[in-house]
Chain A
Protein backbone atom coordinates (compact mmCIF):
# COMPACT_ATOMS: atom_id res chain seq x y z
CA UNK A 1 0.00 0.00 0.00
CA UNK A 2 1.38 3.45 -0.74
CA UNK A 3 1.99 6.07 1.89
CA UNK A 4 -0.99 8.02 3.22
CA UNK A 5 -1.06 11.48 4.85
CA UNK A 6 -3.09 13.45 7.39
CA UNK A 7 -3.97 17.12 7.46
CA UNK A 8 -1.77 17.40 10.58
CA UNK A 9 1.23 16.41 8.45
CA UNK A 10 1.72 12.87 9.68
CA UNK A 11 2.48 10.08 7.19
CA UNK A 12 1.58 6.41 7.61
CA UNK A 13 2.94 3.30 5.81
CA UNK A 14 0.63 0.29 6.12
CA UNK A 15 1.44 -3.41 5.58
CA UNK A 16 -1.51 -5.60 6.54
CA UNK A 17 -2.49 -4.51 10.06
CA UNK A 18 0.98 -3.13 10.87
CA UNK A 19 1.88 0.51 10.23
CA UNK A 20 4.75 2.98 10.67
CA UNK A 21 4.08 6.66 11.45
CA UNK A 22 6.20 9.77 11.08
CA UNK A 23 5.92 13.46 10.22
CA UNK A 24 6.37 14.99 6.79
CA UNK A 25 9.20 17.10 5.44
CA UNK A 26 6.85 20.08 5.47
CA UNK A 27 6.20 19.58 9.20
CA UNK A 28 9.87 19.35 10.15
CA UNK A 29 10.58 22.51 8.19
CA UNK A 30 7.84 24.35 10.06
CA UNK A 31 9.09 23.11 13.42
CA UNK A 32 12.72 24.09 13.12
CA UNK A 33 15.56 22.18 14.80
CA UNK A 34 14.11 19.28 16.74
CA UNK A 35 15.70 18.85 20.17
CA UNK A 36 13.55 16.18 21.81
CA UNK A 37 10.87 13.66 20.90
CA UNK A 38 8.54 12.23 23.53
CA UNK A 39 7.54 8.85 22.10
CA UNK A 40 4.80 6.46 23.24
CA UNK A 41 5.77 3.27 25.02
CA UNK A 42 5.02 -0.13 23.52
CA UNK A 43 1.57 -1.31 24.48
CA UNK A 44 0.02 2.16 24.58
CA UNK A 45 -3.41 2.38 22.99
CA UNK A 46 -3.91 5.31 20.63
CA UNK A 47 -7.06 6.61 19.01
CA UNK A 48 -7.39 8.20 15.58
CA UNK A 49 -6.67 11.91 15.95
CA UNK A 50 -5.51 11.48 19.53
CA UNK A 51 -2.14 12.60 20.83
CA UNK A 52 0.48 9.92 20.32
CA UNK A 53 3.80 11.75 20.62
CA UNK A 54 5.23 15.19 21.28
CA UNK A 55 7.96 16.75 19.14
CA UNK A 56 9.90 19.58 20.68
CA UNK A 57 11.93 22.07 18.67
CA UNK A 58 13.77 25.19 19.71
CA UNK A 59 10.60 27.13 18.88
CA UNK A 60 7.73 25.08 20.25
CA UNK A 61 6.41 21.75 21.43
CA UNK A 62 3.85 20.18 19.13
CA UNK A 63 1.61 17.18 19.42
CA UNK A 64 1.85 14.37 16.88
CA UNK A 65 -1.45 12.59 16.41
CA UNK A 66 -2.20 8.98 15.57
CA UNK A 67 -3.53 8.81 11.98
CA UNK A 68 -5.53 5.69 12.94
CA UNK A 69 -6.47 3.84 16.13
CA UNK A 70 -4.44 0.92 17.43
CA UNK A 71 -1.73 -0.24 19.81
CA UNK A 72 1.85 0.98 19.67
CA UNK A 73 4.34 -1.86 19.11
CA UNK A 74 7.59 0.11 19.21
CA UNK A 75 9.06 3.59 19.03
CA UNK A 76 12.14 4.63 17.06
CA UNK A 77 15.10 4.22 19.45
CA UNK A 78 17.33 6.32 17.15
CA UNK A 79 15.33 9.44 17.97
CA UNK A 80 16.29 9.31 21.66
CA UNK A 81 19.97 9.83 20.93
CA UNK A 82 19.59 11.86 17.75
CA UNK A 83 16.37 13.89 17.57
CA UNK A 84 17.86 15.83 14.64
CA UNK A 85 17.09 12.74 12.54
CA UNK A 86 13.56 14.12 12.35
CA UNK A 87 14.88 17.13 10.43
CA UNK A 88 17.38 15.16 8.32
CA UNK A 89 15.21 12.16 7.34
CA UNK A 90 11.63 12.83 8.39
CA UNK A 91 10.13 10.54 5.81
CA UNK A 92 12.66 7.71 6.31
CA UNK A 93 14.96 6.97 9.25
CA UNK A 94 13.23 9.64 11.34
CA UNK A 95 10.05 7.58 11.74
CA UNK A 96 8.31 7.95 15.13
CA UNK A 97 6.51 4.74 16.04
CA UNK A 98 4.95 1.56 14.75
CA UNK A 99 1.51 0.28 15.64
CA UNK A 100 -0.99 -2.50 15.07
CA UNK A 101 -4.21 -1.15 13.56
CA UNK A 102 -7.50 -1.86 15.27
CA UNK A 103 -9.72 -0.67 12.40
CA UNK A 104 -8.35 -0.63 8.85
CA UNK A 105 -11.39 1.29 7.57
CA UNK A 106 -10.06 4.41 9.30
CA UNK A 107 -7.47 4.62 6.50
CA UNK A 108 -10.24 5.58 4.06
CA UNK A 109 -10.29 9.21 5.22
CA UNK A 110 -6.55 9.79 4.68
CA UNK A 111 -4.91 11.54 1.70
CA UNK A 112 -2.60 9.97 -0.87
CA UNK A 113 0.54 11.80 -2.01
CA UNK A 114 -1.19 13.75 -4.78
CA UNK A 115 -3.94 14.91 -2.43
CA UNK A 116 -1.42 15.86 0.25
CA UNK A 117 0.70 17.86 -2.21
CA UNK A 118 -2.42 19.68 -3.34
CA UNK A 119 -3.30 20.30 0.29
CA UNK A 120 0.17 21.79 0.92
CA UNK A 121 -0.17 24.04 -2.10
CA UNK A 122 -3.38 25.43 -0.64
CA UNK A 123 -1.80 26.42 2.68
Chain B
Protein backbone atom coordinates (compact mmCIF):
# COMPACT_ATOMS: atom_id res chain seq x y z
CA UNK B 1 0.00 0.00 0.00
CA UNK B 2 2.97 2.32 0.67
CA UNK B 3 4.03 1.74 -2.91
CA UNK B 4 0.52 2.70 -4.09
CA UNK B 5 0.78 6.13 -2.48
CA UNK B 6 4.40 6.58 -3.53
CA UNK B 7 6.09 6.25 -0.14
CA UNK B 8 9.22 4.12 0.19
CA UNK B 9 8.64 3.43 3.90
CA UNK B 10 6.47 4.53 6.80
CA UNK B 11 8.97 7.19 7.96
CA UNK B 12 8.34 9.08 4.74
CA UNK B 13 4.76 9.77 5.91
CA UNK B 14 6.19 11.89 8.75
CA UNK B 15 8.41 14.20 6.71
CA UNK B 16 6.34 17.23 7.75
CA UNK B 17 7.44 16.79 11.36
CA UNK B 18 10.59 18.92 11.82
CA UNK B 19 13.72 16.78 12.15
CA UNK B 20 14.53 18.16 15.60
CA UNK B 21 11.12 17.06 16.87
CA UNK B 22 11.34 13.50 15.59
CA UNK B 23 12.14 10.56 17.85
CA UNK B 24 15.35 8.79 16.90
CA UNK B 25 14.98 5.89 19.33
CA UNK B 26 12.98 4.76 22.37
CA UNK B 27 11.76 7.48 24.79
CA UNK B 28 14.42 7.88 27.51
CA UNK B 29 13.43 6.80 31.02
CA UNK B 30 10.23 5.05 29.99
CA UNK B 31 10.24 1.38 31.05
CA UNK B 32 9.29 -1.21 28.48
CA UNK B 33 6.21 -2.14 30.46
CA UNK B 34 4.64 -1.55 33.89
CA UNK B 35 1.52 -2.72 35.67
CA UNK B 36 -1.53 -0.48 35.83
CA UNK B 37 -0.99 -0.16 39.60
CA UNK B 38 2.64 0.91 39.17
CA UNK B 39 1.73 3.43 36.48
CA UNK B 40 -1.02 4.90 38.65
CA UNK B 41 1.34 5.14 41.62
CA UNK B 42 4.01 6.90 39.54
CA UNK B 43 1.61 9.43 38.01
CA UNK B 44 -0.10 10.23 41.33
CA UNK B 45 3.35 10.91 42.83
CA UNK B 46 4.19 13.22 39.91
CA UNK B 47 0.87 15.07 40.16
CA UNK B 48 1.38 15.64 43.89
CA UNK B 49 4.25 17.98 43.00
CA UNK B 50 1.68 20.46 41.60
CA UNK B 51 0.30 23.34 43.61
CA UNK B 52 -3.29 23.24 42.38
CA UNK B 53 -6.21 25.64 42.49
CA UNK B 54 -8.14 23.25 44.71
CA UNK B 55 -5.35 22.65 47.25
CA UNK B 56 -3.57 26.00 47.45
CA UNK B 57 -4.69 29.57 48.26
CA UNK B 58 -5.64 30.65 44.73
CA UNK B 59 -6.00 34.18 43.33
CA UNK B 60 -5.36 33.69 39.63
CA UNK B 61 -7.90 35.18 37.19
CA UNK B 62 -7.19 36.93 33.88
CA UNK B 63 -9.93 35.25 31.92
CA UNK B 64 -10.60 32.03 33.87
CA UNK B 65 -12.13 32.15 37.36
CA UNK B 66 -12.37 29.61 40.17
CA UNK B 67 -15.97 29.60 41.29
CA UNK B 68 -17.88 26.95 43.17
CA UNK B 69 -19.91 24.78 40.83
CA UNK B 70 -22.68 22.95 42.71
CA UNK B 71 -22.68 19.16 42.43
CA UNK B 72 -26.19 19.35 40.96
CA UNK B 73 -24.76 20.75 37.75
CA UNK B 74 -22.68 17.65 37.16
CA UNK B 75 -25.67 15.46 37.94
CA UNK B 76 -27.70 17.25 35.26
CA UNK B 77 -25.08 17.27 32.52
CA UNK B 78 -24.09 13.64 33.09
CA UNK B 79 -27.61 12.44 32.30
CA UNK B 80 -27.42 10.30 29.18
CA UNK B 81 -30.22 12.24 27.51
CA UNK B 82 -27.99 15.30 27.58
CA UNK B 83 -24.48 13.86 27.56
CA UNK B 84 -24.79 11.60 24.55
CA UNK B 85 -27.57 13.28 22.57
CA UNK B 86 -26.30 14.17 19.13
CA UNK B 87 -26.30 17.57 17.47
CA UNK B 88 -29.89 18.83 17.04
CA UNK B 89 -30.30 19.01 13.27
CA UNK B 90 -33.39 16.81 13.45
CA UNK B 91 -35.67 18.89 15.66
CA UNK B 92 -38.34 16.21 15.98
CA UNK B 93 -35.96 14.03 18.01
CA UNK B 94 -33.97 16.80 19.68
CA UNK B 95 -36.52 18.91 21.56
CA UNK B 96 -34.72 18.45 24.89
CA UNK B 97 -31.42 19.74 23.56
CA UNK B 98 -33.12 22.55 21.65
CA UNK B 99 -35.14 23.71 24.63
CA UNK B 100 -31.93 23.93 26.68
CA UNK B 101 -30.29 26.00 23.92
CA UNK B 102 -33.29 28.33 23.76
CA UNK B 103 -33.23 28.84 27.53
CA UNK B 104 -29.46 29.35 27.44
CA UNK B 105 -29.81 31.97 24.69
CA UNK B 106 -32.51 33.73 26.70
CA UNK B 107 -30.27 33.81 29.77
CA UNK B 108 -27.31 35.19 27.81
CA UNK B 109 -29.44 37.87 26.15
CA UNK B 110 -30.82 38.98 29.52
CA UNK B 111 -27.42 38.98 31.23
CA UNK B 112 -25.79 41.04 28.47
CA UNK B 113 -28.75 43.38 27.96
CA UNK B 114 -29.02 42.44 24.27
CA UNK B 115 -31.90 41.31 22.05
CA UNK B 116 -30.56 38.08 20.56
CA UNK B 117 -27.93 35.55 21.68
CA UNK B 118 -26.65 32.51 19.84
CA UNK B 119 -26.29 28.97 21.14
CA UNK B 120 -22.64 29.60 22.05
CA UNK B 121 -19.21 29.55 20.41
CA UNK B 122 -15.96 27.85 21.32
CA UNK B 123 -14.67 30.42 23.78
CA UNK B 124 -14.47 34.14 24.51
CA UNK B 125 -11.46 34.80 22.27
CA UNK B 126 -12.95 33.31 19.10
CA UNK B 127 -16.32 34.88 19.90
CA UNK B 128 -14.55 38.26 19.95
CA UNK B 129 -12.95 37.58 16.57
CA UNK B 130 -16.29 36.55 15.09
CA UNK B 131 -17.78 39.81 16.37
CA UNK B 132 -15.07 41.80 14.57
CA UNK B 133 -15.78 39.94 11.32
CA UNK B 134 -19.51 40.60 11.80
CA UNK B 135 -18.85 44.32 12.29
CA UNK B 136 -16.82 44.38 9.09
CA UNK B 137 -19.65 42.70 7.16
CA UNK B 138 -22.26 45.12 8.52
CA UNK B 139 -20.28 48.35 8.10
CA UNK B 140 -18.20 47.28 5.06
CA UNK B 141 -15.22 49.04 6.66
CA UNK B 142 -11.78 47.50 7.09
CA UNK B 143 -10.43 48.73 10.42
CA UNK B 144 -11.00 47.42 13.92
CA UNK B 145 -9.70 49.28 17.00
CA UNK B 146 -8.96 47.02 19.97
CA UNK B 147 -8.56 48.57 23.39
CA UNK B 148 -5.38 47.78 25.29
CA UNK B 149 -7.58 46.74 28.20
CA UNK B 150 -8.69 43.63 26.31
CA UNK B 151 -7.03 40.36 27.34
CA UNK B 152 -3.82 40.13 25.26
CA UNK B 153 -4.48 36.48 24.45
CA UNK B 154 -7.82 37.50 22.93
CA UNK B 155 -6.10 40.19 20.85
CA UNK B 156 -3.47 37.66 19.82
CA UNK B 157 -6.17 35.25 18.60
CA UNK B 158 -7.77 38.10 16.64
CA UNK B 159 -4.45 38.95 15.02
CA UNK B 160 -3.84 35.31 14.11
CA UNK B 161 -7.24 34.93 12.49
CA UNK B 162 -7.06 38.26 10.64
CA UNK B 163 -3.67 37.55 9.09
CA UNK B 164 -5.35 36.28 5.98
CA UNK B 165 -8.67 38.16 5.97
CA UNK B 166 -7.43 41.66 5.20
CA UNK B 167 -8.87 43.13 8.39
CA UNK B 168 -6.71 45.89 9.84
CA UNK B 169 -6.34 45.57 13.61
CA UNK B 170 -5.14 48.52 15.65
CA UNK B 171 -4.24 47.49 19.18
CA UNK B 172 -2.25 49.48 21.72
CA UNK B 173 -0.24 48.83 24.87
CA UNK B 174 -2.02 49.29 28.18
CA UNK B 175 -1.47 52.25 30.47
CA UNK B 176 -0.30 51.62 34.02
CA UNK B 177 -2.33 54.57 35.30
CA UNK B 178 -3.39 54.92 38.92
CA UNK B 179 -7.16 55.08 38.98
CA UNK B 180 -7.91 53.71 35.51
CA UNK B 181 -5.35 51.10 34.54
CA UNK B 182 -5.52 49.48 31.12
CA UNK B 183 -7.75 51.41 28.74
CA UNK B 184 -7.56 54.98 27.61
CA UNK B 185 -11.19 55.54 26.60
CA UNK B 186 -10.67 59.14 25.50
CA UNK B 187 -7.78 57.98 23.35
CA UNK B 188 -9.95 55.28 21.78
CA UNK B 189 -12.66 57.81 20.94
CA UNK B 190 -10.04 60.01 19.25
CA UNK B 191 -8.87 57.05 17.15
CA UNK B 192 -12.28 56.40 15.54
CA UNK B 193 -12.37 57.48 11.90
CA UNK B 194 -14.30 56.86 8.67
CA UNK B 195 -12.49 53.53 8.16
CA UNK B 196 -13.46 52.11 11.54
CA UNK B 197 -15.84 49.15 11.59
CA UNK B 198 -15.75 48.64 15.34
CA UNK B 199 -14.12 49.41 18.65
CA UNK B 200 -13.55 46.45 20.98
CA UNK B 201 -13.33 46.96 24.74
CA UNK B 202 -13.43 44.61 27.71
CA UNK B 203 -15.48 45.44 30.81
CA UNK B 204 -14.29 44.89 33.52
CA UNK B 205 -11.02 45.15 31.63
CA UNK B 206 -8.01 42.87 32.10
CA UNK B 207 -6.82 45.04 34.99
CA UNK B 208 -10.24 44.78 36.64
CA UNK B 209 -11.21 48.38 35.90
CA UNK B 210 -14.90 49.12 35.21
CA UNK B 211 -15.98 52.03 33.03
CA UNK B 212 -19.14 53.67 31.74
CA UNK B 213 -18.98 52.82 28.06
CA UNK B 214 -21.89 55.06 26.99
CA UNK B 215 -19.69 57.92 25.65
CA UNK B 216 -17.65 55.41 23.66
CA UNK B 217 -20.85 53.81 22.28
CA UNK B 218 -22.13 57.25 21.21
CA UNK B 219 -18.82 58.10 19.52
CA UNK B 220 -18.86 54.79 17.63
CA UNK B 221 -22.42 55.26 16.41
CA UNK B 222 -21.76 58.82 15.27
CA UNK B 223 -18.98 57.48 13.06
CA UNK B 224 -21.05 54.56 11.74
CA UNK B 225 -19.01 52.02 13.71
CA UNK B 226 -20.13 49.30 16.13
CA UNK B 227 -19.18 48.92 19.78
CA UNK B 228 -18.15 45.40 20.74
CA UNK B 229 -17.89 44.70 24.46
CA UNK B 230 -16.04 41.67 25.83
CA UNK B 231 -16.92 40.19 29.22
CA UNK B 232 -14.49 37.60 30.55
CA UNK B 233 -15.99 37.24 34.04
CA UNK B 234 -19.68 36.60 33.48
CA UNK B 235 -20.47 36.78 37.23
CA UNK B 236 -19.71 40.50 36.98
CA UNK B 237 -23.01 40.91 35.11
CA UNK B 238 -24.73 40.29 38.44
CA UNK B 239 -23.40 43.64 39.69
CA UNK B 240 -22.07 45.75 36.80
CA UNK B 241 -24.31 47.57 34.31
CA UNK B 242 -24.82 45.38 31.27
CA UNK B 243 -23.04 46.26 28.03
CA UNK B 244 -26.43 46.40 26.28
CA UNK B 245 -27.63 49.12 28.62
CA UNK B 246 -24.49 51.11 27.81
CA UNK B 247 -25.08 50.97 24.05
CA UNK B 248 -23.07 47.95 22.89
CA UNK B 249 -23.96 46.56 19.47
CA UNK B 250 -22.37 43.15 19.99
CA UNK B 251 -21.48 41.58 23.34
CA UNK B 252 -19.14 38.62 23.52
CA UNK B 253 -17.65 36.84 26.45
CA UNK B 254 -16.48 33.81 28.28
CA UNK B 255 -19.07 31.83 30.21
CA UNK B 256 -16.57 29.62 32.03
CA UNK B 257 -17.29 31.13 35.46
CA UNK B 258 -20.70 29.51 35.63
CA UNK B 259 -21.00 25.73 35.40
CA UNK B 260 -17.60 24.84 33.99
CA UNK B 261 -14.83 25.15 36.57
CA UNK B 262 -11.25 25.78 35.46
CA UNK B 263 -11.01 22.51 33.47
CA UNK B 264 -7.29 23.11 32.88
CA UNK B 265 -8.11 25.59 30.12
CA UNK B 266 -11.16 24.13 28.43
CA UNK B 267 -13.57 23.30 26.95
CA UNK B 268 -14.94 26.76 27.65
CA UNK B 269 -17.98 28.69 26.51
CA UNK B 270 -18.09 31.54 24.02
CA UNK B 271 -21.02 33.92 24.60
CA UNK B 272 -22.32 35.94 21.68
CA UNK B 273 -25.20 38.42 21.68
CA UNK B 274 -26.28 41.23 19.38
CA UNK B 275 -29.08 43.58 18.34
CA UNK B 276 -31.97 41.93 16.47
CA UNK B 277 -31.49 44.14 13.42
CA UNK B 278 -28.08 42.53 12.89
CA UNK B 279 -29.12 38.93 13.54
CA UNK B 280 -28.76 37.82 9.93
CA UNK B 281 -25.08 38.70 10.09
CA UNK B 282 -24.52 36.83 13.35
CA UNK B 283 -22.36 33.70 13.38
CA UNK B 284 -23.14 30.42 15.08
CA UNK B 285 -26.22 28.40 15.78
CA UNK B 286 -29.48 30.08 16.61
CA UNK B 287 -32.31 28.20 18.25
CA UNK B 288 -35.80 29.56 17.69
CA UNK B 289 -39.19 28.98 19.25
CA UNK B 290 -42.03 27.99 16.93
CA UNK B 291 -45.20 25.88 16.76
CA UNK B 292 -45.53 22.46 15.16
CA UNK B 293 -48.27 21.33 12.76
CA UNK B 294 -50.62 20.73 15.72
CA UNK B 295 -49.99 24.21 17.12
CA UNK B 296 -47.85 22.95 20.01
CA UNK B 297 -44.76 24.90 21.02
CA UNK B 298 -41.49 23.52 19.72
CA UNK B 299 -37.89 24.56 19.16
CA UNK B 300 -35.76 24.42 16.05
CA UNK B 301 -32.42 25.69 14.73
CA UNK B 302 -33.24 28.67 12.56
CA UNK B 303 -31.86 31.30 10.16
CA UNK B 304 -29.67 28.52 8.82
CA UNK B 305 -28.79 30.39 5.66
CA UNK B 306 -26.13 32.16 7.75
CA UNK B 307 -24.35 28.88 8.18
CA UNK B 308 -21.83 27.22 5.98
CA UNK B 309 -23.71 23.99 5.28
CA UNK B 310 -26.21 26.15 3.39
CA UNK B 311 -24.08 29.04 2.09
CA UNK B 312 -20.55 27.62 2.17
CA UNK B 313 -18.00 30.42 1.63
CA UNK B 314 -20.74 33.08 1.96
CA UNK B 315 -21.70 31.92 5.43
CA UNK B 316 -21.22 34.31 8.34
CA UNK B 317 -18.73 31.89 9.88
CA UNK B 318 -17.26 28.44 9.36
CA UNK B 319 -18.50 27.33 12.77
CA UNK B 320 -21.06 24.52 12.55
CA UNK B 321 -21.34 23.60 16.19
CA UNK B 322 -21.66 25.12 19.64
CA UNK B 323 -20.21 24.38 23.08
CA UNK B 324 -23.33 22.38 23.93
CA UNK B 325 -22.36 20.54 27.11
CA UNK B 326 -20.75 23.59 28.70
CA UNK B 327 -23.74 25.73 27.68
CA UNK B 328 -25.95 23.22 29.47
CA UNK B 329 -23.73 23.38 32.56
CA UNK B 330 -23.87 27.21 32.45
CA UNK B 331 -27.64 27.15 32.12
CA UNK B 332 -28.05 24.62 34.93
CA UNK B 333 -25.81 26.61 37.28
CA UNK B 334 -27.54 29.89 36.47
CA UNK B 335 -30.97 28.28 36.90
CA UNK B 336 -29.94 27.06 40.35
CA UNK B 337 -28.75 30.56 41.26
CA UNK B 338 -31.65 32.47 39.76
CA UNK B 339 -31.42 36.23 39.34
CA UNK B 340 -31.37 36.80 43.09
CA UNK B 341 -28.68 34.20 43.61
CA UNK B 342 -26.49 35.62 40.85
CA UNK B 343 -26.73 39.12 42.32
CA UNK B 344 -25.91 37.71 45.74
CA UNK B 345 -22.94 35.78 44.33
CA UNK B 346 -21.69 38.90 42.57
CA UNK B 347 -22.05 41.01 45.71
CA UNK B 348 -20.14 38.40 47.68
CA UNK B 349 -17.31 38.27 45.11
CA UNK B 350 -17.02 42.04 45.16
CA UNK B 351 -17.09 42.33 48.96
CA UNK B 352 -14.37 39.71 49.34
CA UNK B 353 -12.21 41.38 46.69
CA UNK B 354 -12.58 44.73 48.46
CA UNK B 355 -11.50 43.13 51.76
CA UNK B 356 -8.38 41.58 50.26
CA UNK B 357 -7.47 44.69 48.28
CA UNK B 358 -7.57 46.72 51.50
CA UNK B 359 -5.38 44.21 53.35
CA UNK B 360 -2.81 43.88 50.57
CA UNK B 361 -2.77 47.64 50.01
CA UNK B 362 -1.49 48.01 53.57
CA UNK B 363 1.61 45.87 52.89
CA UNK B 364 4.56 48.30 52.66
CA UNK B 365 5.49 48.96 49.03
CA UNK B 366 2.16 47.77 47.61
CA UNK B 367 -0.33 50.14 45.97
CA UNK B 368 -3.77 49.37 44.57
CA UNK B 369 -4.06 50.86 41.08
CA UNK B 370 -7.84 50.58 40.55
CA UNK B 371 -10.39 53.19 41.53
CA UNK B 372 -13.08 50.67 40.58
CA UNK B 373 -13.14 46.89 40.27
CA UNK B 374 -15.49 43.91 40.55
CA UNK B 375 -13.60 40.84 41.78
CA UNK B 376 -10.22 41.48 40.19
CA UNK B 377 -7.72 44.32 40.70
CA UNK B 378 -4.17 45.33 39.84
CA UNK B 379 -1.44 45.99 42.38
CA UNK B 380 1.68 48.05 41.81
CA UNK B 381 4.42 46.28 43.76
CA UNK B 382 7.02 48.98 43.18
CA UNK B 383 9.40 46.28 41.92
CA UNK B 384 9.31 43.62 39.20
CA UNK B 385 6.25 41.48 39.87
CA UNK B 386 7.15 38.29 38.03
CA UNK B 387 9.76 37.11 40.58
CA UNK B 388 7.39 38.09 43.40
CA UNK B 389 4.67 35.84 41.99
CA UNK B 390 7.19 33.00 41.80
CA UNK B 391 8.38 33.53 45.40
CA UNK B 392 4.78 33.64 46.62
CA UNK B 393 4.14 30.34 44.85
CA UNK B 394 7.16 28.83 46.64
CA UNK B 395 5.53 29.98 49.88
CA UNK B 396 2.33 28.18 48.89
CA UNK B 397 0.22 31.05 47.51
CA UNK B 398 -0.86 31.24 43.87
CA UNK B 399 -1.12 35.01 44.03
CA UNK B 400 -2.14 36.18 40.59
CA UNK B 401 -0.75 37.04 37.16
CA UNK B 402 2.21 39.38 36.71
CA UNK B 403 1.88 41.88 33.87
CA UNK B 404 5.44 40.93 32.93
CA UNK B 405 4.20 37.49 32.05
CA UNK B 406 1.61 38.92 29.66
CA UNK B 407 3.82 41.70 28.29
CA UNK B 408 7.44 40.60 28.65
CA UNK B 409 9.80 43.45 27.95
CA UNK B 410 7.21 46.20 28.47
CA UNK B 411 9.11 48.13 31.17
CA UNK B 412 6.25 50.39 32.21
CA UNK B 413 4.11 47.38 33.20
CA UNK B 414 6.68 45.17 34.93
CA UNK B 415 5.66 46.06 38.49
CA UNK B 416 2.03 45.08 38.07
CA UNK B 417 0.22 42.00 39.37
CA UNK B 418 -3.44 41.16 38.75
CA UNK B 419 -5.27 39.48 41.63
CA UNK B 420 -8.68 37.77 41.43
CA UNK B 421 -10.87 36.98 44.44
CA UNK B 422 -13.97 34.81 44.31
CA UNK B 423 -16.39 33.35 46.83
CA UNK B 424 -14.09 30.29 47.13
CA UNK B 425 -11.24 32.13 48.90
CA UNK B 426 -11.30 31.71 52.71
CA UNK B 427 -10.02 33.99 55.49
CA UNK B 428 -7.16 31.50 55.95
CA UNK B 429 -6.29 32.02 52.28
CA UNK B 430 -6.30 35.79 52.84
CA UNK B 431 -4.03 35.39 55.89
CA UNK B 432 -1.64 33.20 53.92
CA UNK B 433 -1.51 35.74 51.07
CA UNK B 434 -0.94 38.74 53.32
CA UNK B 435 1.72 36.96 55.39
CA UNK B 436 3.57 35.65 52.34
CA UNK B 437 3.46 39.04 50.62
CA UNK B 438 4.76 40.76 53.77
CA UNK B 439 7.72 38.36 53.81
CA UNK B 440 8.51 38.65 50.10
CA UNK B 441 8.22 42.45 50.04
CA UNK B 442 10.38 42.95 53.17
Q: Is A56 located at the chain interface by the 8 A CB criterion? A: yes
- Listed by A's residue number, 10 A-B pairs whose Cβ atoms lie within 8 Å are A36-B280, A36-B305, A38-B280, A56-B305, A60-B305, A60-B310, A61-B305, A61-B310, A61-B311, A61-B314
Nearest first, the 3 closest Cβ-Cβ pairs linking A and B are A61-B305, A56-B305, A61-B311
Q: Taking the nearest CB of chain B, how far is it from the CB of A26, in angstroms?
A: 22
Interface of A, secondary structure class, is: strand
Contact with B along A28-48 (1 / 0, CB 8 A): 000000001010000000000
Instruction: List the interface of chain A (C-beta within 8 A of B).
Output: 36, 38, 56, 60-61
Q: Taking the nearest CB of chain A, how far is it from the CB of B136, in angstroms?
A: 16
Given contact pairs A38-B280, A60-B305, A61-B314, a sample of 7 additional A-B residue pairs in the complex whose CB atoms are under 8 Å apart? A36-B280, A36-B305, A56-B305, A60-B310, A61-B305, A61-B310, A61-B311
Once bound together, how far apart are the Cα atoms of A38 and B316, in whole Å? Answer: 14
Interface of B, secondary structure class, is: helix
Once bound together, how far apart are the Cα atoms of A60 and B305, in whole Å? Answer: 7
A to B contact number (C-beta, < 8 Å): 10
Once bound together, how far apart are the Cα atoms of A38 and B281, in whole Å? Answer: 11
Interface residues of B in 278-315 (CB under 8 A from A): 280, 305, 310-311, 314
| Chain B residues with CB under 8 A of A36 | 280, 305
Q: Taking the nearest CB of chain A, how far is it from the CB of B425, in angstroms?
A: 51
Q: Taking the nearest CB of chain B, how far is it from the CB of A118, in angstroms?
A: 32
Contact with A along B306-336 (1 / 0, CB 8 A): 0000110010000000000000000000000
| Chain A residues with CB under 8 A of B280 | 36, 38
Once bound together, how far apart are the Cα atoms of A56 and B310, in whole Å? Answer: 11
Once bound together, how far apart are the Cα atoms of A50 and B305, in whole Å? Answer: 20
| Chain B residues with CB under 8 A of A60 | 305, 310
Q: Taking the nearest CB of chain B, how far is it from the CB of A60, in angstroms?
A: 7
Q: Output the residue of A36, A38, A56 with the most chain B CB within 10 A.
A: A56
Once bound together, how far apart are the Cα atoms of A60 and B309, in whole Å? Answer: 11
Once bound together, how far apart are the Cα atoms of A61 and B307, in whole Å? Answer: 11
Interface residues of B in 369-389 (CB under 8 A from A): none
| Chain A residues with CB under 8 A of B310 | 60-61
Q: Taking the nearest CB of chain A, how far is it from the CB of B310, in angstroms?
A: 6
Name the CB-closest residue of B to A61.
Answer: B305
Name the CB-closest residue of A to B311.
Answer: A61
Once bound together, how far apart are the Cα atoms of A36 and B279, in whole Å? Answer: 13
| Chain A residues with CB under 8 A of B305 | 36, 56, 60-61
Contact with A along B205-247 (1 / 0, CB 8 A): 0000000000000000000000000000000000000000000
Name the CB-closest residue of B to A60.
Answer: B310
| Chain B residues with CB under 8 A of A56 | 305
